[in-house]
Amino acid sequence: MRVLALDTSTECCSVALLNGAVLTMRQEILERGHAERVLPMVDELLEEAGLALADLDGIAFGRGPGSFTGLRIAAGVTQGLALGANLPVAPVSSLAAVAAQVPAGAGEYVLACNDARMGEIYWAVFRAETDGGVSPLSSELVSVPDRVGLGAPAPAHAAGNAISACTALADRLAAAGVRVHPGVFPRADAVARLGAVVLEAGRGVPPEEAQPVYVRDDVARPPGAAVTGM
């Protein structure tokens, strides 16, 4: 499979190219400016591999949840590239892209949790599979830190940029015996691997269906009580 992948759902702006068994990636940590960096990264990777968009089997992108602006950038760039080259698209959960990077054993549960700002966290629980993929065990939710993980299967691992952003959450999980992995962002290399599975199975969607998944639609509402460490 030849798959181009990108994720701009957090401050980690990344693009990856899966070319058979070879995976290359560009990434930068940016507070803003993702839109200006994504296409140059795409051009660099394709040029290095000697490929054109038309040579690809599809494009995968981190469809969220995540930054509202970042998700619109990823979806818009993906739609434009895929339409121009007539390629199918694989929308990939940005939380799954976090879980897929955790060194979990097959069958272990992983809590992926990303900073949603406004004192809240995006989260979901996944099961690590034998093929290196992950399967969702809960819905993707947004909640205050104290409610992260409630009602979901107890995880053996937890990862995501919320682990570093919210020390209270990290401490609570560690006290419960969860192995905590700080500093894990949704990244395009994980999106590429997960997206390749979707595309190889013929489950890609047309470019116009490459839509963000926000989870939280009320970005303009005032936050609740302040949460320290966020």
Q: What is the pLDDT of residue 190?
A: 98
Q: What is the pLDDT of residue 222?
A: 39
Q: What is the pLDDT of residue 32?
A: 85
pTM of the full predicted structure? Answer: 0.92
Topology agreement, domain 2-93+186-209 and domain 95-181: yes
Domain 95-181 -> CATH class: alpha beta
Residue with tokens 């969860």: 178
Please write down the HEC assignment for all residues of 61-124. Answer: EEEECCCHHHHHHHHHHHHHHHHHHCCCEEEEEHHHHHHCCCCCCCCCEEEEEEEEECCEEEEE
Which token pair is 131? 């093929």
- In this prediction, the residues of the chain whose per-residue pLDDT falls under 70 are 217-230
Mean pLDDT score of the chain, rounded to an integer?
Answer: 93
Contact status, residue 89 vs residue 205, Cβ threshold 8 Å: yes
Task: Tell me which amino acid residue 199 is.
Answer: L
Per CATH, the number for 2-93+186-209 is: 3.30.420.40
Q: Where are the domains of the chain?
A: 2-93+186-209, 95-181
Which token pair is 175? 């006290």
The closest of 92, 66, 85 to 203, measured between CA atoms, is: 92
